[in-house]
């Protein structure tokens, strides 16, 4: 694991990443072992690309690499994470989130791709290694063998491919990765963009809508209306909600 030389970095213990994350003032450091350098470098490139657009997010402050691994240092995004917003703000925040996600999905000339076949291949590898995290599954899905869940994905993939509507997607569109101004409730930035790339827009819509239901106990309709898809394809939503938890492991 890459080691920071200074000892004034405070560890950040929230989040699901296997990397070590630290904060010092207005910057964050994400450090990885040698095995994670390629993925962290990919994240760096995506942070840099997004910073060159009108969609708010972090910027790269430094990149450090050694025989032990690498460290990505980025600026902190102002505001508060979506998970920390009080209930009275949720309606307005959903509309802001819908507009921002639509803006992200409308960006042109993205050099990064995340084709469905490669995502399904990642899921197949996680299942093969027995690395599926049961905490990411619903009670219904935990009762089934992960191989059966993967079979559902494979069987449904032809329809999803035929219905796919490509856009620049976040790749892990969940409330902890979206920051808001606590007063205006405008989105101040997107973080953790390591999976950003061109793919079916429903991969983002599926995750954020189920998050709004689970974390905020909210009807996602204000979000969907602001985004511009008031009547989404439920079949695609369910597909990506099942696929995503199979890809972490």
| Catalytic site includes residue 172 | yes
Sign, Cα dihedral of 78, 84, 90, 95: positive
Mean predicted confidence (pLDDT) in 82-106: 98
Give pLDDT, residue 1.
86
Query: 241: which 2 tokens?
Result: 């909600």
Mean predicted confidence (pLDDT) in 192-209: 98
Say whether 25 sits in a helix, a strand or coil: coil
Mean predicted confidence (pLDDT) in 160-173: 98
pLDDT score of 16 more than 90: no
Could you tell me the pTM of the whole model?
Answer: 0.95
Catalytic residue among 19, 172, 204, 244: 172
Give pLDDT, residue 236.
98
Domains for the chain: give ranges and CATH numbers. Answer: 10-75 (3.30.200.20), 80-247 (3.90.1200.10)
Question: Which helix (H) or strand (E) is 140 found in, with range?
Answer: helix 139-142
Least confident of 10-24, 25-39, 103-117: 10-24
Query: How sure is the predictor about 15, in pLDDT bands with cuts at 50, 70 and 90?
Result: low
The CA-based angle 76-9-172, given to 5 degrees, is: 40
Mean predicted confidence (pLDDT) in 171-179: 97
Give pLDDT, residue 86.
97
Query: How sure is the predictor about 7, in pLDDT bands with cuts at 50, 70 and 90?
Result: confident
């Amino acid at each position: 694991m890459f080691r920071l030389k200074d000892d004034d970095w405070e560890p950040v213990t929230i989040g699901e990443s296997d990397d070590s994350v630290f904060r010092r003032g207005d910057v964050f450091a994400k450090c990885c072992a040698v095995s994670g350098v390629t993925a962290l470098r990919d994240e760096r490139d995506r942070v840099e690309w997004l910073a060159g657009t009108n969609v708010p997010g972090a910027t790269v402050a430094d990149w450090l690499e050694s025989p032990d691994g690498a460290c990505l240092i980025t600026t902190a995004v102002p505001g508060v994470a979506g998970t920390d917003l009080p209930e009275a703000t949720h309606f307005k925040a959903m509309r802001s989130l819908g507009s921002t996600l639509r803006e992200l999905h409308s960006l042109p000339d993205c050099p990064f791709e995340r084709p469905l076949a490669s995502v399904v291949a990642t899921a197949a590898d996680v299942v093969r290694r027995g690395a599926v995290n049961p905490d990411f599954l619903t009670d219904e899905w935990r009762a089934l063998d992960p191989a059966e869940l993967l079979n559902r994905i494979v069987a449904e993939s032809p329809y999803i491919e035929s219905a796919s509507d490509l856009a620049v997607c976040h790749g892990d569109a969940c409330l902890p990765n979206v920051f808001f101004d606590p007063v205006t409730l405008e989105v101040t930035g997107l973080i953790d963009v390591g999976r950003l790339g061109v793919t079916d827009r429903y991969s983002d819509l599926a995750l954020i809508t189920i998050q709004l239901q689970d974390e905020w106990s909210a009807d996602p309709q204000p979000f969907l209306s602001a985004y511009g898809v008031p009547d989404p394809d439920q079949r695609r939503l369910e597909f990506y909600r099942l696929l995503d938890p199979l890809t972490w492991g």
